[in-house]
Amino acid sequence: MKKLTVALALLLTASAAQADLEWAYQVFEEQLHEVDENAPRSVPGSTESYTQVEIDDLWNPPDWFPDDHAPLPEVVARGAGENVRACASCHLTSGMGHPESSQLAGLPVGYMMRQMEDFANGSRTDRFWMNGFAEAISDEDALAAAEYYAAIEPIDWVDVIESDTVPTHYVGDGRMRFRHPDGGTEPLGNRILEFPQDRELATARHPYTGFVAYAPVGSIARGEELATTGGGGRTIQCTICHGEGLTGLAEIPGIAGASPIYTVRQLNDIKTGARSGPMTALMIATVANLTEEDIVALAAYLASLDP
Ligand code: HEC
Ligand code: HEC
């Protein structure tokens, strides 16, 4: 009976811990900015024009700068059948992605193929999309997409601002978090919240417009201390596996410059077991003793680095 109580208490703590990081798994609430879905839109420097309806066609997303990148593999540009959407619709043609998805630019091919396998067999869970796409995609298409994105140099994508407050906001179309049209601020607490640097460009799926992240005051220095020293046994120095500058080592992914809410989701998912592929085991000792404040601090620090 005593054992049961302890188990129950642990279970409650575990679910409470996860619930407190829910802000990192942003879920569509409502769309508060008005959008004319059928008006032609353009972006500076591009001769292309698309309506919002076309921009949001997840089997045929916009390609604003077709001369800037290698030819898009069919699956990246158009998906593959009804169960695999075009990778570029969420990860963009630049592979930099949005905070609610992820950056693929510059990740090792072997790493990406392993993630696709982990999504397909369920050892890694994305609450929204990736498990279904990974189950349905052919090996050839997965490889073509991985090779396309691996060849792209990642760019500086996130500006981190330490602050006690954050603009009042909502999660709208594309599961993106926007500043509330009425303005205002609210306490940040132990969260990191990301907003597009330019709402118009981000909702146009522009490949080169990044994000601003609000992080708790002192979090970057605290994250640096944990990442570089291990925090006196609390965690393990990240450079040992992720390489100098944390830009990746062999098939271990780069983590420098990553979207901080993406990092929060990964550290939390690894801790709770929602991400538990064979190679993920190497991360368990790193996350086992991290508190939510530690996770937020590490995410802020990584986001502050150059990719
Ligand atoms: C509808 C949006 C969407 C589309 C389309 C999409 N993805 Fe994703 N992808 C996501 C999300 C969301 C995540 C992050 C999951 C998480 O937070 O753990 C992700 C993560 C990934 C990752 C893991 C990255 C990492 O650093 O571990 C890979 C690899 C990936 N996607 C490949 C693809 C490929 C290849 C395609 C095209 C066949 C594709 N995705 C299409 C939404 C999408
Ligand atoms: C013992 C080796 C090791 C150490 C130490 C380590 N990592 Fe990792 N990390 C890995 C491996 C391997 C992966 C890829 C796991 C997989 O394939 O699922 C990974 C993946 C990650 C990811 C997910 C990346 C993505 O694109 O989804 C994050 C975030 C991360 N590590 C953060 C950290 C941080 C922060 C530290 C230091 C506090 C750290 N790691 C220390 C081995 C390590």
Average pLDDT on 139-161 reads: 98
Q: What is the pLDDT of residue 130?
A: 98
List the chain domain ranges: 2-32+155-304, 52-150
Ligand 1 midpoint to CA 109 (Å): 14
**172 has pLDDT over 80:** yes
User: Nearest bound ligand to CA 303?
Assistant: 2
Q: What is the pLDDT of residue 12?
A: 43
Q: How many CB atoms lie within 10 A of CB 226?
A: 23
User: Nearest bound ligand to CA 144?
Assistant: 1
Index of the ligand 1 atom closest to the CA of residue 142: 35
* CATH class in words for 2-32+155-304: mainly alpha
Mean pLDDT of the chain: 94
Is there a shared CATH topology between the 2-32+155-304 domain and the 52-150 domain? Answer: yes
Vertex 251 angle, CA 247 and 256, to 5°: 20
* 200's tokens: 């118009």
Q: Ligand 2: which residue has its CA nearest to atom 9?
A: 283
Ligand 2 midpoint to CA 283 (Å): 5
Ligand 1 midpoint to CA 246 (Å): 21
Index of the ligand 1 atom closest to the CA of residue 137: 38
**Mind listing the pLDDT tens digit for each residue in 192-242?**
999 999 999 999 999 999 999 999 999 999 999 999 999 999 999 999 999
| Distance in angstroms between the alpha carbons of the first and the last residue of the chain | 51
Q: Ligand 1: which residue has its CA nearest to atom 11?
A: 101
**Mind listing the pLDDT tens digit for each residue in 42-100?**
999 999 999 999 999 999 999 999 999 999 999 999 999 999 999 999 999 999 999 99
How much of the chain exceeds pLDDT 90, in percent? 93
Average pLDDT on 117-132 reads: 97
- Measured CA to CA, the distance from residue 193 to residue 261 in angstroms comes to 7
- Pocket around ligand 1 at a 6 A CB cut-off: 58, 75, 84-85, 87, 89-91, 100-102, 104, 107, 112, 115-116, 126, 128-130, 133, 137, 142, 145, 253, 262, 265
Q: Ligand 1: which residue has its CA nearest to atom 19?
A: 101
**Minimal CA–CA distance to 213: which of 250, 148, 163?**
163
- Measured CA to CA, the distance from residue 204 to residue 174 in angstroms comes to 11
Count Cβ atoms within 10 A of the Cβ of residue 11 and give its class: 0-12 exposed, 13-18 middle, 19 or more buried.
exposed
Q: Ligand 2: which residue has its CA nearest to atom 37?
A: 238
The alpha carbon torsion through 215, 216, 222, 224 (nearest 10 deg) reads 10
Q: How confident is the model at residue 292 (pLDDT cuts 50, 70, 90)?
A: very high
Out of 3.20.20.70, 1.25.40.390, 1.10.760.10, 3.40.50.2000, select the CATH number for domain 52-150.
Answer: 1.10.760.10
Q: Any long-range contacts for 9-18 (C-beta under 8 Å, 24+ apart)?
A: 14/272, 17/271, 17/272, 17/292, 18/268, 18/272
Index of the ligand 1 atom closest to the CA of residue 146: 35
- Measured CA to CA, the distance from residue 76 to residue 22 in angstroms comes to 29
Q: What is the pLDDT of residue 1?
A: 35
Q: How confident is the model at residue 19 (pLDDT cuts 50, 70, 90)?
A: low
Q: Which of 23, 57, 90 to mutate to test the pocket of ligand 1 (most atoms within 8 A of CB)?
A: 90
Q: Ligand 2 pocket, 268 CB below 6 A?
A: no
